[in-house]
Structure formats: C-alpha cells, structure tokens
Chains A and B, each alone.
Chain A
C-alpha cells in the first residue's frame, strides 16, 4: 500500500549512444530507434571530426567512421537528419574541441529546413578540460579553448534558450581512474572555471548569468561500488547548490539544480565472461536512479559486449529495455527520496564532501582548474589513482568476478560466434568517405568558402563570438578541417601533460617487482645500456590510460621509458625509435585502426633500418586481426583484460633479451640501489 499520496515521478530520458560509419546509415538507425520509443538522439562522431580533421588528412587515416559518424560539412548534417523532425527531437552531441563548428552545422541544417532555431533542443558536450585530462580530443591550448566553449554558451543563451550548451563530464575522469573525491573536486573546479570565464565576458548580461548557470548540465559515470556512488551523486547536488548560491549568487533554487546525465562505467566491463556485464550495468545504473533528489535526467547504458567493438542493434535494444523495465515495471518512481533520514548515507556523504572540498581548495589556491591542468597536478593524481586501482586488481584487493576470481566457467552460447557477433567497420568506408568529400569540395563555390574562412579568421583574432562566422562557414560549404585549420593558425595547438612523470609508486612491496628489477639489471649489463622502451600512441585515439599505466609500471620495474603522449603519426613514432636508440617499441591502439596504423609504423621502422627492434601491441585488437600483421616484428599482443602488468613487463624483458641474443639466468641477481 502506498502511504504517501504523491504524483508519480516522470521517467528519465533514455538514450543509446550510437553512430555508424556514415551519415546515411546513422540516419537509418536513428529513425528505427525513435520508432522503438527512444526519446532522444545521442550522436557519436568519428575521431577525425572530434579532432578537427577532414577524412583525407594524414592523421585521419584508418580512423574514418570508426567510432562514429564522419561530419565534414553541412551535407553530412543534412543527410544525418533527413526525415527527422529537428524541431521535435532532443539531440545530444558528443563533441568538444570543435563544438562551435558542429553546432553551427546543426543550426545551418535546421535553418535550411526552415526551422526556427530558437526552438531547438539538445545538448553539446563542449567540455574541454576533461579532454586534456582523459579523453584526448583537444585541439587548441586550454585558455583559447575555454573561450570557444564560452562562445557557444553565450550564443545559445541568447539565441537557443532551451539548448544545454555544456555538459561537464566527470564520466571520463572516472574512466581515467578518478576516485569519487577526485571526481567531485575536479568536476566542480572545471565547472567553476567555465562560470568564471562566462562572468568575465561582456556579451552575457549580468541579469542573464543565473540563467546560464541553470543551463549547465553534467555527465556522470557510475561505478560498481554503488552505495558510494549513490552518496557521490547526492554530494554533487549539494555541493553544486552551495557553489551556485554562495560563489555566484544564484538565488533561484531551480537554477542551482545539479542536472546530470549518465552513462555507466564501461571501463569495468570485462571481455572475459562478458554476459556478466549485464549485472554490472544494472547495479551501476541503480545508483543514479535510486535517490529521487539526485536522480539522473538522462541515461544511456553501454552494451554488454562493448569490450569487443561497436554494439549491434540488438545489443543496444537490450540496454534500452533494462531502463524501461526499471522505469515502467518497478515501483521506483512512486516514492520520494528513500535515503532521507539515513544516518549511514549521511555519514558517508559528509566524508566525501569534506574530502572533496579540501581537494577543491587546493586547486583554487593554485589558481583554478586551468592552472591545475597546465601544471599537471590533476593529471598526475589521476594516473596515480589508476595505478593504485590496477594494483588492487592485481593483488586481488579488488575483486573482478570472472577476471581475477571465479575465473572458471562454462562456455557461453552468447560468445561462441563472437567474431561475427560484433560490428566491425569496413575499411572501404574510408575510401567512400574521401571520395564523397572530394565531390563535395568540387561542388561548392570556392569564393564563398574563401570569404567565409577569412571572415572566421578575423573574427577569431578580434575576439568576437565565433558562432556567427562559423554558421556562415557552414552555409558556404566550409569543411571541418578547414574550419579547424583556420583556428589552429590563430590559436595554436597544444600537447597536454602526460601526467606520468610525477607519479610516486610508494614502497617496494612486491616480490615480483624485485624480481623484475633484478632481471632488468642483468639484462642491462649484457646490453651495455639500460633497457629503453618507446611507448607510442599512433592515430587519433586519445584513450591513453593503458599507455600511461604501462609507462608507470615500466619505470617502476627499472626501464627507461620514452612516452610522447597521444596522436602521433606512425612516421614520428618510427623516427623517435631511431633517435632514442630504444630496444623495444610498444604501441597502444584502442580505436580499431590497428590494421592500417601498425603496418605503417613497421614500414617507417624498416625504412630507418630498425627491423631488428621488436614490437609489442596493446589495445582492442581482435584475435582474427593478429595474423594479418607482420608477425616477424610483432612479438606480443595485449588486451585491456591483461591486468597483470608484472607479467607484461616480464615478457617485454624476454622479448628484448631474445632480440639481442641474450640468455638470462633465472637466478636472482642482487638488487642494486639507484
């Protein structure tokens, strides 16, 4: 019997994150999903789009259409929304560094359909700071990037009032290893730096400022420790309310609401016994819906088999059904907040809030989030937390069922045909996309394009809001690469701190490490030089957690590690291997572009006479792809499931020894200090 006579809460917005290799295919998928009852669209773009390159740029090679739709010009946007009522739908776009551009394309496409842009609804991610910390798709340096982000915010506040112009993410921080306290502190510090940059502008009137605050939304992650996660989202709502009221003087409580969307953790999804992931997805999802006062506004759930590649339609449908069952079958929405009055919860909340406030204070004293980003403080702490997390899995302090405990299992009917059961992107897509781009370039009015780009450049230099000039570019037929290049010329490019150099590993508490060090010592003496490892991330994939953890561990084991960060051309990696005189090269690729990138690195190394240098690979590399690569040089292939980093180190040592005809004795050498 229900005691409280209250109105049943409305369900959250249910999304599935999707994007296929071309605008046509994606369009078809969106229309199908809408027919199934989906209430919002969430669009993923491919990496070249996210990093501001056209499909035919050298860095785009192998990445076109891999992780989402290639969005190069207004034509792509029109195809994507063909027969979709833009005035009725709510569109969420995962786009950051080139947000102003993609939004300009969206606006231009809507205008062409004759839709009044003031009525458009949707969200752009537009959160640049977490790109430097974790996701990796930044283009320009932090300060100018903040300005572009603020341009979008001020434009939408004045012209598309229902648009959510920024979606500040703690999602990716958690994927990079952030603890709940770090998530709280870094995300709120980030949000404050956004608000500060808006406050400093003169195109947002002071009386409009509270409305800007009210339009800021957040994108959170939910991990498997779900009680703590419940407390985390509740603390987020409290701290945000407090910040908005006390720091920014927002009086209206509605505008201080912590509005957030969620995608639950994919980092914790396992490749082993992947059917267990459904349980993980559900437990994680519970933590963001259970507390009414801190309930997510929109949720997208990953697919159970995400570790294998892009999910199929059926996999996505399954994830959507999980949400529908929670919202429509259970009684969840009939109750008020069930945690009010719980002492246990409020104790945990207090603990989180105090620690997060202390961390936030440290950042504020440094001068804010941008400073703590540029000086590497936040990144270093994230890498360190992630190293700690991995070590806990390694030592079974943290249990992952089916991975480090209860590993034996029956063969699963779901994964029997796993090779066929995930959708891989056909390499022909890239060629098709390039030719459609070439055709587009030929069809447009060159003078109009040149004029629009000139105007854009001037507007960037003059410090004007670039939205108007960008919309004109979109209408004139400018491409993504041209738009971004114009800005690169004025604003410059940036390489973010890798965060690995200041990481402290703590005490030597592990016999395995001692053994590794002794073994490396022995190898070093026979090599004559210290074992030197180059870690390269070719292509546009910015997911650097794996590469960072390998780097940290390799140093801990006693190797000299050269790591140059993300987004390198294969040629640059080969050149570094030569100049640095390394003994072994490790490549990390998670975007699915290994079949084009790895052979290019090998070619570059061979051209430089480095065919004797062994290569090890890490990332998402399907088994069936391995024989397609040059196995005379590739000695090992690792997947994210290989959490035992000590074993990887041991094997790398063996690979180098073998490549140099060195025999290592198994007896332990003396561990020398220093």
Chain B
C-alpha cells in the first residue's frame, strides 16, 4: 500500500527500510497545508500499526551531564539483545534566528551499516520547553518501526514535564556536584522521572556526597501515580560502568507499566498530544474559546482517539462554530 504520492510504501516503512523511514519523517515534519491530507493518512495508518512491544524512553537533564554519551553506550546493549532502536534528539532553536545547531549526533556512535538503528535530530522550534511538536508525529512513526525509542531533550524546566506526556519512561540524568539540578528537583519535579541517573559517578568523592543528597531527596517519597518508586542508578559513561543496571531499570519500568496500565498512560499521552497540536495551531485564544485546557482534556477523555489529526479537526470545527456563535451573539446584541 502506498500512503502518499511520493510513493513511500507502508511495507517499507514497517520493515524499517531507512530510505522509506527518512522520507516518511520528512513528510511528517512538513508544514505545507497541501501535504496535510497525506500526513493525516500516514499518522492514522501508523497509529494502527504500532508495535505492541515498543517502549518509549525519554532521556533528559541539564546540558553537559553526558546524555548523548550515555545513549551511545545504551545502543550496543540493546543491539546485543537484538532490539532495534530509533533515537530522536531535540535541540533548542535560536530565538533570534530560528536556526538551530543539532549537535547531539556527534557523541552518539553507531554503525552506519546497521539497518536497525535510526537517529533523527530535531530543532525544538518555537515550542516552549524542549519537545518539538514534530517529535510527537515522528514518534508515531518510530513506534511502528522500532522496539526501543529514545527521545533525548536538553533542559531543566518545563521540558521534563513535557517529555513525561510523550514517553513511557522518563530518565533524568544529573552529575555529581550539580547542586542546581538537585535544588530544582527538590522544588517539585521529583514526580516526573522514573529513573534518576547520576552520571559521571567516576568522580568518586563528589558522587558519594551527591548520592547521599539524592537518596535523601528520593526518600521524601517519590511514588508516581502508577505506584512506581523512583529508581536511582549510578553510571560512568566515561568508564563504561553502570550501564547494565540502567538498562535493567528501564526494562523493569517498562514491564511494570505493561503489567498495569500502559495503554491508559499512552491514551493520556495521546490526549495531551491532540491538545498540543490544537494549541500549537490555533493558539491559547482558541483554547479559551473552548472552555480552557481542562475542558478540552475532559472532552477528549470521553473519546476513542486513534487519529489525533482527526481529533484536532473536530476541535477546529468546534472552534469555528464557537467563533461564529459569538459573532452572532455580538451582531445580534448590536442590533439592540
């Protein structure tokens, strides 16, 4: 089956043929109105073909903690288990120029001949936080092709909570002596990560001190709404240890979710996705017109969401209706 006039075959995408995956990604990133129909169709088809065993992992943390190096070392671990990997790295865009430096590939080493690994860099665009709006669309594609999907974002701030709305497992990476991120975590993001990684733990004395601090933070109580207790892992990407433990922790959380309510969690993520696209396209004015974020999420919660684009279109119609209703009201009131 051909899903678009550029002749990308669905079968090729699902087999993970790189040229097809790359072309599909180009299409999903496209913003031209003329390609909307093809994008909608592609997302719908892909949504129906998501791999049941897939696991989406978000790796986030402040700049310079060694996220890319860590990912680089996770690759051979997963490849040794014969799992295919898709990686999306998100870098900030320049506010001034709209340009971006997508530099994370630099530190992710992989074999260019390996057909089961695909890395795509994205600019965060104008979107606040760190997760590009495109990321979600492209994730839909990766979910139907790869066993493990890693999304890397930089940041301390909104991006962590935002990434939690996209992935199954959130891994937050810190480094010893980074008092700031600890402060920040105490300030309230402890609920967000499922796994806390102290990378660069080769700096022994610092690592010990910081670990105590982290333990203290973790012991305050950090059980999320699925009942998962925050796992703390020490790694040294430089010396290459702690990786097996990290993989085990990630897999453990994946299993934990599968035994419980992963489909509900993913449904919630999808709902937030629809909301995100809608807000992205029509702005906060439109959100207000439809009774605010809470109301939109409530309506979405009552629906079966397969194709987010279609959902967005439904809301778009609601929005236009609300506009014309209010115009009617305004014009009728003016006659008086």
Contact = CB atoms under 8 A, between A and B. Distances in A.
A528 interface: yes
B98 interface: yes
Given A529-B29, A569-B112, A608 B19 contact: yes
Max chain A CB contacts within 10 Å: which of B31, B63, B121? Answer: B121
Contacts of A564: 103, 105-106
Max chain B CB contacts within 10 Å: which of A141, A495, A552? Answer: A495
B126 interface: yes
A516 B105 CA distance: 27
Interface in B4-48: 18-19, 22-23, 25-26, 29-32, 35
A376 interface: yes
Contacts of A557: 97, 99
A556 interface: yes
B278 interface: no
A579 B20 CA distance: 10
Q: How large is the interface on B (under 10, 10 to 19, 20 to 34, 35 or more residues)?
A: 35 or more
Contacts, number: 112
Interface stretch (A296-304, A388-396, A570-578): A570-578
Contacts of B91: 501
A51 to B, nearest CB: 16
A513 B94 CA distance: 14
Contacts of B126: 674
A529 B31 contact: yes
Interface string B84-121: 00000001011111111111011101001100001111
Given A562-B105, A608-B19, A555 B26 contact: no
A551 interface: yes
Contacts of B63: 502
B101 A555 contact: yes
Given A375-B64, A558-B97, A580 B31 contact: no
Interface string A138-170: 000101000000000000000000000000000
Given A562-B105, A579-B119, A673 B95 contact: yes
A376 B64 contact: yes
B238 interface: yes
Contacts of A579: 18, 22, 118-120
A495 B107 contact: yes
Contacts of A385: none
Contacts of B25: 581
B123 interface: yes
B240 interface: yes
A668 B270 CA distance: 40
Contacts of A520: 98
Contact of B98 (A517, A529, A551, A576): A517
Interface string B108-151: 01001100001111010110000000000000000000000000
A554 B99 contact: yes
Nearest to B30: A528
Nearest to B134: A529
Interface string A512-526: 010001001100010
Given A143-B238, A562-B121, A498 B103 contact: yes
Given A501-B91, A609-B19, A563 B120 contact: no
Contact of B26 (A500, A508, A529, A576): A529
A565 B106 contact: yes
Interface string A415-437: 00000000000000000000000
A581 B29 contact: yes
A260 B123 CA distance: 46
Contacts of B29: 528-529, 581
A581 B22 contact: yes
Contacts of A581: 22-23, 25-26, 29, 120
Nearest to B123: A560
Contact of A505 (B64, B96, B107, B240): B96
A528 B112 contact: no
A578 B23 CA distance: 9
Contacts of A559: 99
Interface string A576-607: 10111100000000000000000000000000
Nearest to B23: A581
B103 A575 contact: no
A561 interface: yes
A623 interface: no
Given A564-B106, A608-B19, A528 B100 contact: no
Max chain B CB contacts within 10 Å: which of A376, A551, A564? Answer: A564
Nearest to B86: A579
A608 B107 CA distance: 23
A578 B19 contact: yes
A85 interface: no
A578 B22 contact: yes
Nearest to A555: B99
Given A557-B97, A580-B121, A498 B106 contact: yes
Contacts of B102: 560-563, 580
Nearest to A563: B103
Given A498-B103, A578-B19, A530 B98 contact: yes
20 contacts: A375-B64, A500-B101, A500-B103, A521-B98, A529-B26, A529-B31, A551-B101, A555-B100, A556-B99, A557-B97, A557-B99, A560-B100, A560-B102, A561-B100, A561-B101, A562-B103, A563-B103, A571-B112, A581-B22, A673-B95
Interface of B: 18-19, 22-23, 25-26, 29-32, 35, 63-64, 91, 93-103, 105-107, 109, 112-113, 118-121, 123, 125-126, 238, 240
Q: What are the 7 A-B residue pairs with the smallest beta carbon separation, nearest first? A: A555-B99, A575-B112, A528-B32, A528-B30, A558-B97, A558-B99, A581-B26
Given A143-B238, A495-B109, A581-B29, 15 more contacts: A376-B64, A495-B107, A513-B97, A551-B101, A554-B99, A555-B94, A555-B101, A557-B99, A560-B123, A561-B101, A564-B105, A579-B118, A580-B105, A580-B121, A672-B98
